[in-house]
Structure 1
Amino acid sequence: MPVIHRRALRAAQTRSTLVALGALGTLALISIALSRYGLSTLAVTQAAVRDWLGGAELYSYREPVTQTGAALPPALAILLTPLVLLPLKAAGWLLALAGVAALLLSTVVLAGPIARRYGRRRTPLVLTVATLALLTEPVRATLGEGDPDLLLFGLVVADLVALRRARRAIWWHTDQPAPLRDRLRQIWSDGSWAGIGTGLAVAFAVTPVFFLAGLFVLRQRRAARTALTTAVTATLAGLVFAPRETLTWFGDTLWEPNRSESLSTAGNQALAGVLARLYGFPAPPVLVWLSFGVLLLAVGLIRARSANAAGDEVAAFTLIGLAAAAFGPMTTPAEAIWLVPALLVLADGALRRRAHARRSRSDRFTEKLTGGTALLGYVLLAAAPTALLAWDGYAFALILLVSVLPWRPAPQTVEELRPRPRTAAIPVPRGSGR
């Protein structure tokens, strides 16, 4: 066998071994997370949906020990209905595998452009970032508790793909009607489906509503209208299949933020939880919470608009997610998933500064500060010490990143990278033959 063939075979075997080890490691991590967190959220959801299918009201179920009730919109309850037919462990595994797949696809969207910018292969970087993300507490808690937050995260990130395609789209106008296959391919290529992911996420949860508002703030009006139409359509579909539950959700359940847990519990790392524990009340003073919360949300949306104008749509979406998590009345570590892309933005910002040949002293200091913050933040998210909850570490991280998360300037275009023709120091008259 030639040497080139042997090397190619050896490389293929190495890749297969690494993929197998990664799959086994992922399965082991999912198993540990399911055992540690016990699928607490999915157990309540499954029991409530099972009673609902049996004729009871969806939101009347209460867990016997903790008195926790289901807090999911009817559209999401309808989507999760097939999981009722499975045992709790099997349903947890199925939801966890779907969440890992959504995380991997989201990592391709978030980390792929970074690899291309530095001239590196995309697959190793994406797999590395996805592995590091799996080890963080927000991802572990989401998988272990049986939350669909990773799926919602993937739906929102999918709109990033559409917005990127829409920005690079080349419209072809023709008088002849194109076949359905060509029209679908064009819709996928030009990003005209932007907003569908956010709209579905809005129908399935409350927090993505901030991304819908963020699309208007980012001046993505077409995507915002698509998201609004999708959300309304999915909600009306829920009204058709579950009219009583839909009316109950929008009339009563939506306005009970302490339905799953008390707002003052240590697990609530939103601004409302911090204020409730600070004042010693079961819930924060409404006027104080709204005053600080609206100000924080405004800062996040304004900075997201600036980041998007600078060409960093990842930082823009991350800022919206961080502001939504900080402003929401209930944010557990599993719902603080946008801390993970925030660390990726910080790390990439530090690498960008390091790549510049000419760096001033302030640039070197900023590079070390940004890189050190990213490293320290990841260590804390991976270790997740108990003191992080006791000292409101997640909450302060959300508030701080909303205020100071840097965004990265857009990469240079081909025209900007193309060398400009040099002009002669001494002008030569035209037609001189020189």
Structure 2
Amino acid sequence: MPVSQKRAQRAAPTRSALVAVGGLVTLALVALFLSRYGLSTLAVTHAAVRDWLGGTGLYAYREPVNRAGAALPPALAILLAPLALLPLKAAGWLLALAGVAALLLATVVLAGPIARRHGRRRAPLVLGVAALALLTEPVRAALGEGRPELLLFGLVVADLVALRRLRAGRGRGARWWLTDRPRPLPDRLRQGWADGSWAGIGTGLAAAFAVTPLFFLLGLVVLRQRRAALTALTTAVTVTLAGLLFAPRETLTWFGDTLWELNRTEPLTAAGNQALAGVLARAYGLPAPPVLVWLSLGAVLLAAGLIRARSALAAGDEVAAFTVIGLAAAAVGPMSTPAELIWLLPALLVLADTLSRHRQGVALAGYALLVAPLPVLFRWDVFAFALILLTGALPWRAAPAPAEPVRRAAIPVPRGRRRDQAA
């Protein structure tokens, strides 16, 4: 038996043991997060959907203590309706495990190319980055509060895979309809998955389930990904119309009233709101920010983010482009709780990959803030200023130059003869 095969057989039990230990540690951390945060957001959603299934309006429920109400579109409420049939803890565990799976798959997309570019094995780097991300406050809050932010994050990141395949293939495999012979549906689906023609579906689903992903739909237009933008818009409209079909009263209530209740879950002045609106509201000492000031600064910040995202995509860095859009969206939106700061994680990954070894302390300091956020960090609006700073200063990585084609002589030289003799 070759030596390499013997080493692989010896290493297999070790890898299996490490995977088992990692899974147990992950389950323990999820249990700790659920206990610490108490599924506060899912509890409101769970009760509101239960009342809705019982005949009451979806948005009529109010939490008895802080009077918080459900703030989710009807399409997402329909998707989460089966969880309302389960006990709250069981629903929280299912949502948390789905969030961990989405985080792991997103890490494969974001960190996999880094390992390939540096000649490292992909699995150790991906698992290490996922483990570090699991300890950060955005992930802890999303899992512990029972929020769908990790699932939405995974949907948007999925479009990165499609855009990479579109850029790599340049549409070569997307012209199956030009052939004389029609292809079977499984072959067409397989070809569509391979060539990235499904780009935009993830963003469209996320935009139908939440408001913040609408910025990514706008980003696809600015990035000149017209086909992906059209697919995302079509998907979002289709899912919204399906929600209108199954829940007409709730859909009309959502778009006509509930969507505009910015303080429905908590006041805009809450310390956890790290959006620009929260910073301005606390600075002026008002329940809501001055509208003109907020819209003016937000428009400038959003425009800067979209312009920089377009430059990053032109340089070949799709991750940085989407990350800048996510940072700008979190900063411009009216409410950005700790769970909605999820795009700070790929920003730190880009910083760690971009900065030299002598400047890695910047990424390490940012990670330390995300792992152990103190209440004073929220009162000082540290994460809000981090969103603004990274939107305007996040670097991106240039795409590797294509390898030059090897030129061969038109008349091959016979073996054993020197090239000068052949001349």
CA-to-partner distance for each residue in 1:189-228, whole Å, 9 max, x for gaps? 1111000000000100000000000000000000000000
The structure 1 residue matched to 2:283, chosen from 254, 269, 278, is 278
Q: Which residue of 1 aligns with 2:47?
A: 47
| C-alpha displacement of 1:390 | 1.4
Distance in 1, Cα, partners of 2:381 & 2:13: 47
Structure 1: which 5+ residue stretches go unaligned? 355-366, 422-430
Secondary structure of the residue aligned to 1:334 is helix
Q: Which residue of 2 aligns with 1:359?
A: none
Matched letter for residue 254 of structure 1? L
The structure 2 residue matched to 1:402, chosen from 358, 372, 391, is 391
Q: Provide the identity percentage.
A: 76
CA-to-partner distance for each residue in 1:275-302, whole Å, 9 max, x for gaps? 0000001111111111111111111001
Secondary structure of the residue aligned to 1:414 is coil
Q: Which residue of 2 aligns with 1:368?
A: 358
Distance in 2, Cα, partners of 1:189 & 1:77: 32
- Taking the TM superposition and a 5 Å limit, the aligned residue runs for 1:194-205 are 194-205=199-210
| C-alpha displacement of 1:9 | 2.6
Distance in 1, Cα, partners of 2:64 & 2:375: 27
Q: Which residue of 1 aligns with 2:64?
A: 64
Distance in 1, Cα, partners of 2:183 & 2:128: 42
Q: Which residue of 1 aligns with 2:84?
A: 84
- Aligned-residue Cα RMSD (Å) equals 1.8
- TM-score scaled by length of structure 2: 0.94
Q: Which residue of 2 aligns with 1:414?
A: 403
Query: Aligned pair 1:148/2:148, yes or no?
Result: yes
CA-to-partner distance for each residue in 1:126-171, whole Å, 9 max, x for gaps? 1011001001000000000000000000000000001111112233
Secondary structure of the residue aligned to 1:331 is coil
| C-alpha displacement of 1:4 | 5.8
Distance in 1, Cα, partners of 2:225 & 2:265: 34
Cα distance change of structure 1 residues 420 and 4 upon mapping to structure 2, 3 Å threshold: closer
- Taking the TM superposition and a 5 Å limit, the aligned residue runs for 1:118-137 are 118-137=118-137
- Taking the TM superposition and a 5 Å limit, the aligned residue runs for 1:247-262 are 247-262=252-267
Q: Which residue of 1 aligns with 2:307?
A: 302
Matched letter for residue 59 of structure 2? Y
The structure 2 residue matched to 1:223, chosen from 220, 228, 232, is 228
CA-to-partner distance for each residue in 1:86-133, whole Å, 9 max, x for gaps? 111110000000000000000010011111111111111110110010
Q: How many residues align?
A: 408
Distance in 2, Cα, partners of 1:314 & 1:16: 31
Q: Which residue of 1 aligns with 2:158?
A: 158
Query: Aligned pair 1:379/2:368, yes or no?
Result: yes
CA-to-partner distance for each residue in 1:325-351, whole Å, 9 max, x for gaps? 00000000110000000000000002x
Cα distance change of structure 1 residues 167 and 389 upon mapping to structure 2, 3 Å threshold: same
Query: Aligned pair 1:340/2:345, yes or no?
Result: yes
Query: Aligned pair 1:210/2:215, yes or no?
Result: yes
Q: Which residue of 2 aligns with 1:363?
A: none
Distance in 2, Cα, partners of 1:24 & 1:368: 36
| C-alpha displacement of 1:368 | 3.1
Matched letter for residue 17 of structure 1? A
| C-alpha displacement of 1:174 | 2.3
Q: Which residue of 2 aligns with 1:94?
A: 94
| C-alpha displacement of 1:388 | 1.3
| C-alpha displacement of 1:433 | 5.6
| C-alpha displacement of 1:2 | 8.4
Distance in 1, Cα, partners of 2:145 & 2:402: 44
Matched letter for residue 314 of structure 1? V
Distance in 1, Cα, partners of 2:140 & 2:332: 23
